[in-house]
């Protein structure tokens, strides 16, 4: 068994144990099946805790692997702003503008990187126009965000990766 699969099994077991323990106390009804959360944790390669927005993580996990398609808005193919729009509509019931620059300019209030919260948008420039957002994703936690990459489709990446650190523009909290 590889180290990665061992960690995924341990993560799945931890989610299962937490779900069972919390559902048995009777103080709060579980909104989601713990198996769905375990699968989402594996697909996103991160722990999902009880305090996390389960709807966001389940929806983000459901998009993982979707191919990139410029102008796309469906699971047949999606671009970065199409992904953020679709997830925001389903999770928060909010309609976002259809381009990364419009989402930054019209839909968000600026947030510093150190103050990012789950569900905030993260914006990047392409290196040519350093003041214009050419890419957007949704912040999850622990420096990780979900986005539609032109090369690999929908993935979770780290803000600490060299490319994203170098091309960071700003964070945004949706109004």
Show which residues are catalytic: 80, 135, 147
Q: How far apart are CA 121 and CA 109, in angstroms?
A: 10
Tokens linked to 15: 């989610």
- For residue 174, the surrounding DSSP H or E stretch is strand 168-174
Kindly list the distances between the CA atom of residue 115 and the CA atoms of 84, 112, 125, 139, 164, in Å, as whole numbers in the listed order. 19, 5, 20, 11, 17
Q: Report the alpha-carbon distance of residue 29 to residue 5 in Å, rounded.
A: 30
């Amino acid at each position: 068994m590889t180290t990665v699969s061992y960690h995924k099994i341990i993560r799945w077991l931890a989610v299962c144990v937490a779900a069972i323990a919390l559902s048995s106390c009777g103080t709060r009804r579980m909104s989601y099946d713990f198996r769905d959360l375990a699968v989402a944790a594996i697909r996103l390669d991160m722990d999902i805790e009880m305090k996390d927005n389960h709807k966001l993580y389940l929806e983000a996990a459901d998009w993982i692997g979707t191919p990139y398609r410029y102008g796309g808005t469906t699971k047949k193919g999606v671009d970065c702003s199409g992904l953020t729009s679709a997830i925001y509509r389903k999770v928060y019931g909010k309609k976002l503008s259809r381009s990364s620059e419009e989402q930054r300019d019209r839909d968000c209030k600026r947030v510093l990187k150190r103050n990012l919260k789950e569900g905030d948008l993260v914006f990047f420039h392409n290196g040519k126009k350093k003041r214009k957002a050419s890419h957007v994703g949704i912040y999850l936690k622990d420096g990780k965000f979900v986005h539609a990459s032109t090369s690999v489709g929908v993935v979770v990446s780290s803000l600490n990766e060299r490319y994203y650190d170098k091309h960071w523009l700003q964070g945004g909290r949706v109004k």
